[in-house]
Chain A
């Protein structure tokens, strides 16, 4: 019995030794709310108001649930919400998150983005 408990505690200790990074997104769009913000499938925030920053999201070196293995680069995907009308966009640039790194991504008016549906029409 003691051996089993010792084994479980050892596993927990080993898992908790994994290196962690943080990622945070700031909405600097002048009028719009950004919603359902994600980086590489990792949910960052359900809603960020203009001028507001998301919480710092902790990312472990190996986030197998989201297929993330740091270091990794991903675009930011989100909805722009203006008066209830939503449009989905993703950044043209990818943002790299290294191991033991704090990444702050600022979404502003000049951030290059695209919508795959509208891009196809061009």
Chain B
């Protein structure tokens, strides 16, 4: 009888000791930002080219276009620079310190959606951050170029506010789209 009691105490002791493991998953947060399961492949990138043309059908000739402000669905998509290109020997003439070319020059812009997280201080800011993100599901959309900047030969900024619009299509389960060539008038 006594032996049986000792046996039970031993078994219970083993159970008790094995239950002391504190490695629990409760309260462990490895992933800080988690996307909705319904839309994991979020559309993130627009690619397009810009040509800047004057009234005489001459194209702007510069190495890079700066501060291209892009909006999608009326919300800010971000501000971008074009890829740097080599336009040596393309200049046909110079007008008002701006190099112009008779041949078409296009500037490539790869516009990845930019989320501004600089001003997140309160829980309300984080809710707005989630709420204001642009989520593009499959369908047709319009993007707007509201401003571009480039430097003239005197290194002065020239700013244009073209407000040109271009439609593009988002195909299901894709994360990027080519918008095409956008022509901006140099006034």
A-to-B contact residues, CB < 8 Å: 29-32, 36, 38, 41-43, 65, 77, 79-80, 82-89, 107-118, 121-122
Contacts and interface: CB of A to CB of B under 8 A. Distances in A.
Interface residues of B, number: 26
Given A85-B35, A86-B33, A111-B122, A80 B27 contact: no
Nearest to A4: B5
B14 interface: no
A114 B126 CA distance: 9
A84 B37 contact: yes
Contact of A88 (B32, B36, B117, B121): B32
Interface string B19-60: 000100011010111111111000000000000000000000
Given A80-B127, A118-B117, 16 more contacts: A29-B123, A29-B127, A31-B127, A32-B123, A32-B127, A41-B26, A42-B27, A65-B22, A83-B130, A84-B39, A87-B33, A87-B34, A87-B126, A108-B124, A115-B32, A118-B33
30 contacts: A29-B127, A31-B131, A32-B127, A36-B27, A38-B27, A41-B26, A41-B27, A43-B26, A43-B27, A79-B29, A80-B123, A80-B130, A83-B36, A83-B130, A84-B37, A85-B34, A85-B36, A85-B133, A87-B32, A87-B126, A87-B129, A89-B126, A107-B123, A108-B124, A109-B124, A110-B123, A111-B123, A113-B122, A114-B120, A117-B32
B121 A86 contact: no
Contacts of A86: 33-34
A109 B131 CA distance: 14
B118 A32 contact: no
Contact of A30 (B33, B34, B124): B124
Nearest to B37: A84
Which of the listed residues A31, A85, A109, A110 has the most CB atoms from chain B within 10 Å of its own CB?
A: A85
Contacts of B33: 86-88, 115, 117-118
